[in-house]
């Protein structure tokens, strides 16, 4: 696993900051939001990808490093961050120099509209002087180019593509990677969630929908703006972030002595049959119950739900209602928490980035706090880990993701005890 997000670019730093309840939200500096009511977010626009690439010197061959430097000269921000995550995860998995059949590993990148800022910049340049748009604009602007670049960097020839489903994209990508392995077509899958490199107009559009935080009280207190489950929650906080997970058939991983962080038991998806961003606890309930049934898991076995919890008034409540409908009195030990309280909403990559954090919590026996809960919504009567971590033995973790367009996707993980 590997991630680059507002709380860190190593697994250790990410986990430590989660447990400390540290916020990664600040005022944007990489975007001009002077015309936008929401001026805060998890801004990684100044992240030094070239410096991060230099840290890989010695971990990859000189020839490979030289090739990466050349690719980075023309790659988009989203592409570079995704490549870094994928390469770090692949190195950690001990697979970079693996001689197994490269056609039996797939690459799926979750998300869409990745390069919004890059496209906007080139469109504006075209309006001024067409001759000076980026020479590779016709390649780099395309979403599939990110998956294709990861394929080139890792030397993988198996199925390679993107899958988009708004904020459920990361889990949908997991679903495809899981299916590639379960069908027998592949032994492994590189599943990534790429950065949504958004523009000021993207954030402004979300403000029109009343989705993001525009309350003036939080513009000068960005670290307090994302507050899932609190009575004053008023929208999500847009952020940058990327993550990669390497899926592998269990026997294959054990045979080669790989470090196994967790077992992915299943991934299920459904839809609300409504394109508007209106969450449905009814369909979320159906989905979670379906996932439990397919994986032959009892409701009372689930220890922890890593919530979607975006900090919107309706969304948080609908998700909690779905959780209560599924688990009800069957599971008094159940804990839930909200990673977006610290990360903000890293959008398409959120399911991957947050699942990585959840797996780290599962393996360390401690759950991070949901911060900024000053007054818990009285309709939310579960243990949401309000403002302090919980030492909990977690064996089963449910990861929820619910995207715009009524696209729902949940994944179920089990702690590996081998």
User: pLDDT by residue (tens digit) across 99-155?
Assistant: 899 999 999 999 999 999 999 999 999 999 999 999 999 999 999 999 999 999 999
Q: Which residues of 258-270 are buried (b: 16+ CB within 10 A; e: fewer)?
A: beebbebbbbbbb
Span 309-338, average pLDDT:
92
Distance (Å, rounded) from C-alpha 35 to C-alpha 190?
39
CATH number at residue 335: 3.40.47.10
Query: Which among 187, 206, 224, 166 has a CA at the least distance from the CA of 351?
Result: 166
Are 364 and 402 a contacting pair, CB within 8 Å?
Answer: no
Check whether residue 235 and residue 131 sit in a common domain. Answer: yes
Task: Identify the residue whose tokens are 């599924």.
Answer: 326
The count of other CB atoms within 10 Å of the CB of residue 12 is: 9
| 307 shares its domain with 180 | no
pLDDT of residue 70: 96
Length of the chain, in residues: 418
pLDDT of residue 331: 65
Q: Are residues 271 and 237 in the same domain?
A: no
pLDDT of residue 330: 61
Max mean pLDDT among 186-195, 274-283, 322-331 falls in 186-195
One domain for residues 188 and 305: no
| 104: nearest Cα among 211, 206, 181 | 181
Percentage above 90 pLDDT, the chain: 96
Return the beta strands (E) in 254-364 as ranges.
262-271, 304-306, 335-337
Report the pLDDT value the prediction gives residue 4, as an integer from 0 to 100: 98
73, 140: one domain: yes
- Domain count for the chain: 2
Q: Are 168 and 345 in contact (CB under 8 A)?
A: no
Tell me the C-alpha distance between 307 and 288, whole Å. Answer: 12
Question: Are 348 and 30 in contact, with CB atoms under 8 Å apart?
Answer: no
Q: Which two structure tokens, joined as six digits, stand for 280?
A: 């449905």
My answer on whether 325 and 214 are in the same domain is: no
Whether 247 and 275 share a structural domain = no
- Using DSSP bridges, classify how beta strands 396-403 and 407-415 pair: parallel, antiparallel or unpaired: antiparallel
What are the backbone angles phi and psi of residue 91, rounded to the nearest 5°?
A: -65, -45
**Separation between Cα atoms, residue 248 and residue 96, nearest integer Å:** 14
Both 44 and 29 in one domain: the answer is yes
Choose the final residue of a domain: 255, 273, 307: 255
Q: Which residues in 262-357 belong to E strands, given as ranges?
A: 262-271, 304-306, 335-337
Mean pLDDT of 179-193: 97
Please return the burial class of 302, using the count of CB atoms within 10 Å of its CB with bins 0-12, 13-18 and 19+: buried
Per-residue model confidence (pLDDT) at position 276: 85
pLDDT tier, 159 (very low <50, low <70, confident <90, very high otherwise): very high
User: What does the pLDDT average to over 353-357?
Assistant: 98
Last residue of a domain, one of 234, 255, 276: 255
Give the pLDDT of residue 244.
98
Share of the chain above pLDDT 70, in %: 99
Q: CB-based burial of residue 144 (10 Å sphere; 0-12 exposed, 13-18 middle, 19+ buried)? A: middle
Domain that holds residue 230: 2-255
Say if residue 206 is in the same domain as residue 315: no
Whether residues 216 and 272 share a domain: the answer is: no
**Can you read off the two tokens belonging to residue 283?**
């369909």
If asked whether residues 206 and 282 sit together in one domain, one would say no
- Mean pLDDT over 396-414 rounds to 97
Q: What is the pLDDT of residue 416?
A: 95
pLDDT of residue 260 exceeding 90: yes
* Same domain membership, residue 166 and residue 126: yes
Token pair listed for 264: 């992915």
Report, as an integer, the average pLDDT of 387-401: 97
Average pLDDT over residues 81-97: 96
Is the pLDDT reported for residue 329 higher than 70? no
Q: Which of 222, 255, 288 is the last residue of a domain?
A: 255
| Dihedral over alpha carbons 46, 49, 21, 225 (to 10 degrees) | 30
Measured distance CA(286)–CA(281) in Å, rounded: 9
Average pLDDT for 307-325: 96
């Amino acid at each position: 696993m590997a991630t680059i997000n507002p709380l860190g670019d190593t697994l250790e730093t990410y986990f430590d900051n989660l447990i400390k309840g540290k916020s990664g939200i600040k005022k944007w500096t990489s975007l001009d939001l002077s015309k936008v009511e929401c001026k805060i977010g998890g801004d990684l626009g100044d992240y030094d990808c070239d410096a991060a690439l230099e840290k890989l010197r010695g971990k990859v061959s000189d020839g490979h490093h030289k090739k990466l430097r050349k690719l980075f000269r023309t790659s988009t921000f989203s592409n570079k961050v995704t490549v870094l995550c994928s390469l770090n995860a692949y190195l950690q998995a001990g697979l970079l120099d693996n001689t197994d059949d490269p056609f039996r590993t797939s690459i799926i990148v979750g998300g869409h509209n990745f390069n919004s800022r890059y496209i906007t910049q080139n469109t504006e340049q075209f309006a001024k002087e067409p001759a000076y748009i980026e020479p590779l604009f016709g390649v780099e602007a395309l979403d599939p180019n990110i998956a294709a670049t990861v394929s080139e960097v890792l030397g993988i020839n198996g199925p390679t593509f993107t899958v988009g489903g708004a904020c459920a994209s990361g889990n949908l990508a997991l679903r495809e990677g899981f299916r590639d392995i379960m069908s027998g077509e592949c032994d492994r899958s590189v599943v990534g969630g790429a950065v949504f490199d958004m523009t000021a107009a993207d954030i402004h559009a979300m403000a029109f929908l009343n989705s993001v935080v525009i309350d003036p009280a939080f513009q000068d207190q960005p670290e307090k703006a994302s507050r899932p489950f609190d009575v004053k929650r008023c929208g999500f906080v847009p952020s940058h972030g990327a993550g990669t997970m390497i899926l592998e058939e269990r026997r294959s991983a054990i045979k080669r002595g790989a470090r196994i962080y967790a077992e992915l038991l299943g991934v299920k998806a459904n839809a609300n049959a409504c394109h508007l961003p209106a969450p449905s606890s009814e369909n979320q309930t159906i989905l979670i119950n379906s996932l439990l049934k397919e994986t032959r898991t009892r409701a009372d076995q689930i220890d922890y739900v890593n919530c979607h919890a975006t900090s919107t008034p309706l969304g948080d409540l609908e998700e909690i209602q779905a959780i209560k409908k599924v688990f009800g009195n069957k599971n008094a030990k159940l804990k839930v928490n909200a990673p977006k309280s610290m990360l903000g909403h890293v959008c398409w990559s959120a399911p991957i980035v947050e699942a990585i954090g959840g797996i780290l919590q599962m393996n360390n026996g401690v759950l991070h706090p949901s911060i900024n809960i000053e007054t818990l919504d009285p309709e939310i009567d579960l243990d949401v880990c309000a403002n302090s971590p919980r030492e909990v033995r977690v064996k089963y973790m449910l990861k929820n993701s619910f995207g715009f367009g009524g696209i729902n996707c949940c994944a179920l993980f089990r702690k590996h005890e081998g």
